[in-house]
Amino acid sequence: MTVLQLYELQQVDTAIDTREKSLAEVRNRLGEDPALAALGRRIQELEKRVKDEALARRPVELEIRGLEERLAVIEARLYGGSITNAKELEAQNEELTYLKEQRSAQEDRLLEFMVTSEETQKEFDVARKTVAEIEERRKRAQPDLTANEEVLHRELERLAEERVAVASELAGSELSMYEALRKSRGGQAVARVERGICEGCRLSLPSTEVQRARTSRGPVHCSSCRRILFVP
């Protein structure tokens, strides 16, 4: 019976579509992970930023070190008793105050650098940890994915042979009609009828239409979605 053969062909094609989708998903997971690649690029950016921030911080650290050395010299003179002149003592105290203010300002700048660097380093560490976890999961999943890929490939080869056998029993016009419907109806040309409902569009069918689909020797189309109706 032609409709039964068309339904069988539809079943084979649905199985092929399902496995091709599964195979594409498996191969996508086995291939390059876009998220992982994006994380890799982000890590490179963060690594460069960590180095740049360290370089930017270095002059401030050197400035603070120089100020501390100058402060140590002045404090040694002030508290060592080597200065006896009042004006010179006043001048040294003023310079001591100025240098301390400069040191405080530079220390504030250094603190800002350190906070920024700490945040960058933290993001860098988290990104590297995430990459390591993703790579470990991919490594563990790879054997199963490879096995699934092989199974799906063999099933598709078997289904392709089965399709050729089923399609060869159909007339060219019937096959052309079927292929045109599959293309225009999202891959489903034949719809099973269950309890008076077309499983293609999920709409109720008139009883006369169901009866025609049951008894007709040729294809009967759903009045709503135009798919070929198959009444078991």
Classify residue 165: in a domain, yes or no: no
Number of folded domains that form the chain:
2
One domain for residues 120 and 182: no
87-113 tens-digit pLDDT: 888 898 899 999 999 999 999 999 999
Q: How far apart are CA 115 and CA 108, in angstroms?
A: 11
Beta strands in the chain (DSSP E): 190-194, 197-198, 228-230
pLDDT in tens, 147-182: 999 999 999 999 999 999 999 999 999 999 999 999
Residue 40 included in any domain: yes
Instruction: Please give the pLDDT value at position 17.
Output: 96
Average pLDDT, the chain: 93
Token pair, residue 92, equals 């040294």
Please say whether the beta carbons of 145 and 30 come within 8 A: yes
Q: Is 161 exposed, middle or buried (0-12, 13-18, 19+ CB in 10 A)?
A: exposed
Percent of the chain scored above 90 by pLDDT? 83
| Residues 66 and 127 reside in one and the same domain | yes
For the residues 57-82, what does the mean pLDDT come to? 90
Cα distance between residue 87 and residue 104, in whole Å? 26
Residue 19 in any domain: the answer is: no
Which of 90, 122, 143 is at the close of a domain?
143
Task: Please state the pTM of the whole predicted model.
Answer: 0.66
Looking at residues 11-30, what average pLDDT do you find?
95
Domain region containing 100: 27-143
Same domain assignment for residues 92 and 129: yes
Position 1 scores a pLDDT of: 57
Q: Is residue 15 a contact partner of residue 163, using CB atoms and an 8 Å limit? A: no
DSSP state of 40: H
pLDDT mean over 182-205: 96
Confidence check: pLDDT of 68 > 80: yes
Residues in the chain: 232
End-to-end CA distance of the chain: 12
198 within some domain: yes
